[in-house]
Amino acid sequence: MDPSSKVLVVDDYEPNASAMRDLLVTAGHAVRVASNGSDALRLAEDEVPDLVLLDVVMPEMSGVEVCRELKTRSVTRLTPVVLITGSQDRDHRLAGIEAGADDFLRKPIDVTEFRTRVRSLLRVKRLVDDLESTEAIMTMLGQIVEARDPYTEGHCQRLADYATALGAALGLSQVDKDTLARGAALHDVGKIGLPDIVLLKEGRLNGEERILMRQHPVIGDNLCRTVKSLERVRPIVRSHHERTDGRGYPDGLTGEEIPHLAQVVGVVDVFDAITTNRPYRKAMLPEEAYKIMLADASDGWCPVELVTAFIDLHRSRNISVPWWPSVPPPQHMDTVAPAVSEVAAAAEVAVPAKVLRARKRKAPSRKARSPKPPAKRLATKRRTRS
């Protein structure tokens, strides 16, 4: 057996619990013992075990109920659980399987079988931990990308919250909502391969820089390809900048070729880009973002109903993130109107010309502004006054 593993033994009959504990301690494992389900759940929360050996028949909570609870908690859902029972009842086994049990042992326990099953499950747990560590490294890379640009602080977490809330409003499954959260955290991980001169540029990207920027979904997809547990996330990473009219990147997908979850992340990504400060322009108000997004959805960016669903959700404030991100207050909309095209460039959203013309009509005329006198002239007046 693999030494140094943490095993939780749960049995209300002390002789059985002691016998299993002795076998495990002899093999070099760290063992904790609980005599009931409530104590077991508390111990598992205090320190996540690598394996749980769980008697089925116990007072208060049965082993099946404890197993079900462990498998619903995020910190223990991947922890192997072995149900131990003296019953040959088929219904007990089916209930255990339905609760998420990974294996079964019969009483009286066969020592050789006990050691073999424990060894096997700890090996599986170690492999799972390795996969989780690799995925954590990928997430950390995404956070490094975010940390390079102070303007995008909190961007990935906001996207995860926006995307999962929108997924819930759309009636998506829990698996899809989990994928949205992970995909949002990793959607821009490919920007780790972009130079700062492109990533942090103040102003619109030139042709060569835009080509480099459009490579980040491919770079991100290639990074995620190395982690099997991220297989469901890859379509989001690669395709969140695609457009239904085929003018997106990197693959120029059209219509239903674009993965639905990628479109969900794409919508919330654009909203967050517009409503937060960036190096090239000030943040805009949500209502202005709604107009821009609806106009471009109608022009072929993404399904209008998807944008409408997000707007309805955001207006209702039924999202578990601040209604307004913690950024400096945006300028008045009239003064930021000429920057709308820069928002489009940043989020890779082509704003229709009629929207740009409307913004320009709102912008105050340069002639109406009172220019400051030249510095030299002011100096002359000061000397005259004195």
Domains and CATH numbers, the chain: 6-129 (3.40.50.2300), 149-368 (1.10.3210.10)
For residue 3, give the DSSP letter.
T
Distance from C-alpha of 155 to C-alpha of 172, rounded to nearest angstrom: 23
Distance from C-alpha of 248 to C-alpha of 239, rounded to nearest angstrom: 9
Q: Which two tokens stand for residue 282?
A: 């000030």
Question: Are 135 and 230 a contacting pair, CB within 8 Å?
Answer: yes
Distance from C-alpha of 286 to C-alpha of 293, rounded to nearest angstrom: 10
Distance from C-alpha of 351 to C-alpha of 349, rounded to nearest angstrom: 6
Which of the residue ranges 128-132, 177-181, 346-350 would you say has the lowest mean pLDDT?
A: 346-350
Q: Which two tokens stand for residue 153?
A: 């602080």
Residue from 314, 263, 266 nearest 288 by CA: 314
β-bridge partners, 7: 31, 51
Residue 314's pLDDT band (boundaries 50, 70, 90)?
Answer: very high
CB half-sphere exposure, 50, CA atoms < 13 A: 24
pLDDT at 11 > cutoff 70: yes
Between the ranges 88-92, 229-233, 343-347, where is the mean pLDDT highest? 229-233
CB half-sphere exposure, 127, CA atoms < 13 A: 9
Looking at residue 215, its pLDDT comes to 93
DSSP per-residue string spanning 181-215: HHHHHHTTGGGGGS-HHHHT-SS---HHHHHHHTT
Residue 135's pLDDT band (boundaries 50, 70, 90)?
Answer: low
Q: Which two tokens stand for residue 377?
A: 């002239």
pTM of the model: 0.58
- Residue 378 φ/ψ, nearest 5 degrees: -65, -40
pLDDT at 357 > cutoff 50: no
In the chain, the percentage of residues whose pLDDT exceeds 70 is 76
Which of the residue ranges 2-16, 131-145, 151-165, 258-272 would you say has the lowest mean pLDDT?
A: 131-145
The helix/strand/coil state of 302 is: coil
Distances 90 to 2, 86, 97, 105 between C-alpha atoms, Å: 32, 12, 11, 14
pLDDT at 360 > cutoff 50: no
pLDDT at 383 > cutoff 80: no
Name residue 77's amino acid. R
Looking at residue 380, its pLDDT comes to 35
Q: 231 or 346, which is more confident?
A: 231
